[in-house]
Structures are given as C-alpha cells and as structure tokens.
Amino acid sequence: MPVDINSLPQRPGCYFFKDAQGKIIYIGKAKDLKKRVSSYFNRPPDNGKTAELIRHIDSVEFIVVDTETEALLLEARLIRQHRPQYNIDLKDSERYAYILVTDEPFPRVMTARGRQRKGRWFGPFVDGTHRRSLIRTVTMLSKLRTCQTLPKRACIQYHIGHCTAPCIGKASKEDYEEQVGIAVQLLEGKTETVIARLMEEMAQASKDLKFERAKELRDHLEILSRKADRQKIESKVSMDQDIIVPVKDKATLLVQVFHVKKGVLLGKKEFRLDPDAEMTEFLMQFYTGHEIPDEIVMESLPEESAIIEETLAKVKEGRVKFIIPSKGRNRELLDLVRKNALIQLGAGDIGCKDLQDALGLKDYPKTIECFDISHLSGKQTVASMVRLVDGKPKKSDYRKFLIKTVEGIDDFKSMSEVVERRYKRLQEEKKQFPDLIVIDGGAGQLSAALESLAHLNLAIPTIGLAKKLEEIYIPGRDATIRLDSKREALKLLQRARDEAHRFAVAYHRVLRKKSTAT
C-alpha cells in the first residue's frame, strides 16, 4: 500500500485517504499530520468501521495549514464538498416540514418542504400538530391571507375578520407589511413584543371609543397569552441556543438538536449516524451548513471543545460557547431533549436506554436484577432479589433468601452469599444471566458482590447504589457518579432499589408471623 508515513509533515492540516481507484473515501484533520495518520496503521482499529476503512486505503494526500483552527474549518468544508464514504453524512430527514413566509407581493404563512422556494423559513418542525396550530394562530393574529392566489372578490375570511383583504385593496402594501412583521415576530418567538404592541393598540382603540376593535384585540391577546403559557421551553435569555443530545444503541448514534431562539423552542433536527461517529466531526459538519448559535448546550464537552469554539466563533464573527449545566433551566432543556431522543431511538424502555448511556454500557440493559439485604429486628438477615424486564417488574422471577452462612449482622458477607447462590444456580440450570446487576449499597456491598461473581468466573455489569446521596458506584472508577434527579436512568434505579426493599420487608413480615405463631 503506497502510504508513505515518513513523507507526511508534522504540521497542522487535513489528510485525504483514497482507495485504489483514486476516490477520496475519508477526510480528517490533525494538529500533527504525521502522528495522526500513523495512528491508523500503528495500533489496532477502535471499531469495525475503522477496520473497514483501513482495508480500503490505497494512498494518502494532505493539505498543510497554519493552525488547528484552520484545519478544523477546512475539514468541514472539504467533507461537505466531497462527501466521502466513511465520513459523517448529515442529511435531514425529508419528513421534516418548515413554516414559510412566502416571498410574494402579499405574503402568506404556509407549510413547506425542501427549502427550494424563496421566503423566510422557520423550523424544521417534527410535530405536525404543533406546526399547524402555530400557522393558524400566526395567520389569525396577523390577519394574513390564506388563499393560494389572490381572488377578485373578498372571501369569508375577510367577512369574519381573519383577513384584511388585500385582494380588493382593503389593505395597502405598507399596512400589509406591518401584518407580515407581526407574523415574523411571532414565528421568531418574540411574543412579548407582539403582546406589547397589541396592548397599545387595544388601549388606543378604547380611548377612541372603538370598543369592537378593542374587544377583538383583547381576544387576540388572550389567545397569544395561552400560547405563551403552553410553550414549555421558555426562559429569560437573550441569546440563541442549540440543545444537542446524542444517544445510541448497538446500531445507531442518534443526535437531536433543538433550536431555542431567545428562550423559545422553534424546532429540532434529528440525525441517525454510525454508532462510532465522533461528535467533533458531527458538530463541524452541522455548523458548516446551519446557523451558529451563541450557546451550544450539551451534557458533556466534546473532544477539542476549545478549538471548536474558536473555529465556530471565527466563522460566526461572534462569541460561541459550550454550556454544560448541572441544574436550572438549561438542565431541564437537556433532560427534555434526551427524553425525546430516547423515544425516537426505537423500541425499549426510556429509562433502560438512558441508563445504558449514563453508565456507558455496551448492551441495552433489558434485564436488571437488584439485590437488597435486610435485618429482622437486628437479628436475622434476609435478602431479596427483584427482576425488571424493559424497566417493568417481572414478579414471577423475584427471589427471597434466608442468609445461611453468616453469623450476626454482616451486610458485606451476606451480599456475597446471596449473589453467589443466585448466579451459581443460574449457571447450573443454564439460564440467562441479567444484563445488569444493581446492588443496594456502597463500595463495600459492591466489592462483596464482585468477589462472588469472580469466584464463579462471571463478568456481568454490576453497580452499587447508595441511598443517602443516590451515588452510583461503578467498578474501576475512583469517583462515584450522581445523576440528575429528573433523569429516567436514576428513576429506574430507584424503582428497582425500592422494589427490592419492599420485597425484603414483605419477607420479614412472613417470618415475623411464623415466629409469633410458634
């Protein structure tokens, strides 16, 4: 293979991998071209897609630039130009529709797709009901025409007060442009500006004793206020934001981008990518062809976040900043986008999918088993195990244990015993193991469970959940992790833990009745 690594410079730039026919199959950027390209051939590939790419590389070319920022920007432009096979290909789903304010002598508001027509575009909107409702409200408040072609006589919309009838000259060009301005402001989310304007008109109409007009404006204000109240994503921010959340399963990395303008949700985009796709490449590809916001809100910083910020700011000619919120309105926005993304990803429980992402699990945790150790009046130790399938309890698979080998109260040894008993039996019966084991307790209980699994030569993903601070203990990590209280993943773990505790207490009641009966 004629890839001469030694000929590559140790400079920033972009590299092109070509196949035997000379076709560009991958474009990448590097701070050090020689070091980056060498990495493809000097170590095992990270995933199957990379392995396939390497098999097809026949030659490499490069372009040297002065800075890493320039390399990142050039990479994005070249990928959009050449669309190589192994780079991310961002294509908006064709099912998404937009709202268009047409470029006509007397514009109207309508649904449109494809973005071929001239005019002012808003969206895209995945929710068709919301889009149609928004068009109706905007058209009614702005009194724009709804007819496809201007008729020769006024229609019913004029007679019921929903249109100013430019078709028969009842509205001048200048007056109609003011109406269009109201429509655009509403679609841009500038609700407060329109409300203030209508309130001024209503006050003036009352002053001029035009009570019918004042009542009409009051009705419009009530409609507009109700719409504003229903807007779930609204905050006191003056900047534009994109809320970006990636979620994935074995086959797909799904990225959802919610566009929030001045605190109001205007629409979203969704992309389904290869599960090994890199967010850095996605971000640069996305913002090469889309408006760059003031803030990009994400759950964690992408690799090379500083250089991405610098590059996007250079393109925008203004400030761009990544925001990683832990609480507040931005955190609520992230949680909402994550919930939407998990739903869109496909079948399965939302909590299970969120848990897979939160814990970095390789496989979807379809089956979860949770253990709890409990004491009867501080003397007798019992244990419970509950099983959840797709996030729902499967009570026929619940198990209770009376601790046999531990003297006195010792939660660690008790946990070790019950875990070994449970999975030794599954081994002997050749039954399926769970996708995730949850231990009610901290580091000590988790270590005891892991020792038993190791004794059985089993490698099942296992975590501990400490109740006091809802801290999650993960093997191999020095620090615990804490999930936001609103995340579906934490809610699922809490349900499993609480159900295990309930089942253990129920077992206690049975033992207590037996002891008092004798």
Q: Closest by alpha carbon to 84, among 256, 281, 289?
A: 281
The SS3 call for residue 505 is helix
**Spatial distance between the Cα atoms of 97 and 117, rounded to a whole number of angstroms:** 13
Cα 431 to the center of its chain, rounded Å: 36
Q: Which one, of 336, 390, 345, 397, lies nearest residue 366 by Cα?
A: 390
Q: Let me know if the fold of 240-346 is the same as that of 367-517.
A: yes
Q: Do residues 123 and 99 touch, judged by C-beta distance below 8 A? A: yes
Domain 5-82 carries which CATH code? 3.40.1440.10
Estimate to the nearest angstrom the gap between the alpha carbon of 503 and the chain centroid: 35
Is the CB of residue 122 less than 8 Å from the CB of residue 267? Answer: yes
- Mapped onto helix, strand or coil, the DSSP state of residue 368 is strand
What pTM did the predictor assign? 0.49
Going from N- to C-terminal start, the domains of the chain cover 5-82, 97-230, 240-346, 367-517
Cα 97 to Cα 134: distance, rounded to the nearest angstrom: 13
DSSP letters spanning 329-359: HHHHHHHHHHHHHHHHH-SS-HHHHHHHHHH
pLDDT, residue 435, reads: 95
- How far apart, in whole angstroms, are the C-alpha atoms of residue 96 and residue 434? 39
What is the dotted CATH code of the domain comprising 240-346? 3.30.420.340
d(CA 95, CA 104): 25
Q: What is the 3-state secondary structure (H, E, C) of 91-141?
A: CCCCCCEEEEEECCCCCCEEEECCCCCCEEEEEEECCHHHHHHHHHHHHHH
Alpha-helical (H) ranges within 366-487 are 411-429, 443-455
| N-terminal to C-terminal alpha carbon distance within the chain | 84
For residues 255 and 30, is the Cβ–Cβ distance under 8 A? no
The two structure tokens encoding residue 230: 């229903």
Which fold, 367-517?
Nucleotidyltransferase; domain 5 (3.30.420)
Nearest CA-CA partner of 299 in 283, 323, 277: 323
pLDDT score of 115: 63
Of residues 353, 360, 375, the one with CA closest to residue 489: 353
Helix (H) or strand (E) segment spanning residue 261: strand 253-261
Ramachandran assignment for 354, one of left (phi > 0), alpha (psi -120 to 50 degrees), beta (any other): alpha
Say if residues 254 and 344 touch (Cβ distance below 8 Å). Answer: yes
pLDDT (tens digit, 0 to 9) for every residue of the chain, 518 residues total? 456 677 788 888 899 999 989 899 999 999 899 999 999 988 888 777 888 999 999 988 888 887 888 788 888 878 877 889 898 876 544 445 778 899 888 999 998 876 668 888 886 665 566 678 778 878 888 888 888 888 888 888 888 777 888 888 888 888 899 889 888 888 877 777 777 777 887 888 788 887 777 787 777 677 666 555 444 344 445 688 999 999 887 778 889 898 887 766 666 788 888 888 889 999 999 998 788 999 999 999 999 999 999 999 998 889 999 999 988 888 888 887 887 788 777 656 778 888 988 898 888 899 999 999 988 665 678 899 999 998 889 999 999 998 888 887 888 999 999 999 999 999 999 999 999 999 999 999 999 999 999 999 999 999 999 987 899 999 988 889 999 887 889 999 999 999 999 998 888 788 777 766 65
In this prediction, residue 128 carries a pLDDT of 66
SS3 392: strand
Calculated CA dihedral for residues 397, 403, 409, 411, nearest 10 degrees: -40
Asked if residue 49 lies in contact with residue 86, where contact means CB atoms within 8 angstroms, the answer is: yes
Give me the residues paired with residue 169 across strands: none
